[in-house]
Amino acid sequence: MVEPKKVRFVYRRKLVAMKAIIIGAAGGIGRSLCEKISSAGGEAFLMGRNADNLRPIAEAFGWGYAGCDASDWTQLDQHFSAAEGVLGGVDCAINLAGSVLLKPMHLTSQKDWEDTIRTNLTTAAGVVKAAIPRMQSNGGSIVLLSSAAAGIGMQNHEAIAASKSGIEGLVLSAAATYASKKIRINAVAPGLVKTPLTERIWKNDRSAEASLSLHPLQRFGEPSDVANAILFLASKDNSWITGQILGVDGGLGTLKILPPMR
Ligand SMILES: NC(=O)c1ccc[n+]([C@@H]2O[C@H](COP(=O)([O-])OP(=O)(O)OC[C@H]3O[C@@H](n4cnc5c(N)ncnc54)[C@H](OP(=O)(O)O)[C@@H]3O)[C@@H](O)[C@H]2O)c1
């Protein structure tokens, strides 16, 4: 049996060179990811629309940060340049910007629709577009966030499922386009994770019970469940994985539990 202390040391050594840009770093999953990158010896530059939310996290780790709306590709590209300068290179870009809209299509306004596409799909495409030129010479890893709702039909998820399905298509095509440059592009597709984004669901007894019943492992995700998977895909240890959508969802996206048979 390997002593846990030794395992920690090896992991830290292998990740030590990670230079990551994280968009949406002040959110629930983002905070957990920052802790994991730091304790693995990596370094990150943090972005999100509200710089005040990023400041305490960035200062705690001694990292750079910038307020940036990632749905504005010009702004995003400028901030990637700044981040590249601060980090001295970029080998990993992670987009956590996202939203949730639970409405049936007939109640979804055009603004709801466009906001959902912009916050999820446009930010993801912008991150791929900004990251690629900075990874052309040494390769790299891009991790995007989908959702279990992209792969199964869940009622009232029309706009968010469409935007996350778009991200999955983007992952597959871009992974093929840039494979020859050794740039890996993957996504994580979570089930319901306890973060500020979803607290209206998990803090309400009725909706929490209904949602929990859809997760075969019978618990909601913790931010660290998803952050672990992002780190796995981002890590140079996994340099033979590209074009994958990794479900981290307590079984929501793939399993159906039948009632007991008589
Ligand atoms: N939590 C879940 O159950 C769940 C399930 C499936 C998928 N996901 C996906 O996982 C990702 C992270 O989720 P989370 O739960 O950690 O969400 P969160 O706590 O709301 O964090 C999202 C972060 O993204 C930032 N952001 C939003 N729009 C942005 C934009 N246009 N430009 C830059 N930053 C932006 C927000 O900060 P500012 O407001 O300051 O910009 C926020 O800090 C999202 O893509 C979400 O769709 C989450």
User: Is the Cβ–Cβ distance between 62 and 87 less than 8 Å?
Assistant: no
What is the residue with the minimal CA distance to atom 7 of ligand 1?
147
Nearest ligand 1 atom, CA 196: 19
Claim: this prediction has a pTM higher than 0.85:
yes
Task: Using alpha carbons, select from 167, 172, 184 the residue that is nearest to residue 131.
Answer: 184
Ligand 1 centroid to 23 CA: how many Å?
A: 9
Please give the distance, rounded to the nearest whole angstrom, from the Cα atom of residue 2 to the centre of ligand 1. 37
Choose the residue to mutate in 21, 22, 23, 29 for probing ligand 1, maximizing ligand atoms within 8 Å of C-beta.
29
Which domains, from first to last, does the chain contain? 4-243 (3.40.50.720)
Q: How confident is the model over 118-149, as pLDDT tens digits?
A: 999 999 999 999 999 999 999 999 999 999 99
Tokens found for residue 77 = 């590209």
pLDDT digits (tens, 9 = 90+) for 2-36: 444 444 444 444 555 799 999 999 999 999 999 99
Give yes or no for residue 193 CB within 6 A of ligand 1: yes
Q: What is the pLDDT of residue 8?
A: 45
Mean pLDDT of 42-46: 97
Taking only the tens place, the pLDDT of each residue in 66-107 is 999 999 999 999 999 999 999 999 999 999 999 999 999 999
Q: 71 alpha carbon to ligand 1 midpoint, in Å?
A: 13
In the prediction, which pLDDT does 9 show? 42
- Per residue, the 3-state secondary structure of 212-250, as one string, reads HCCCCCCCCECHHHHHHHHHHHHCHHHCCCCCCEEEECC
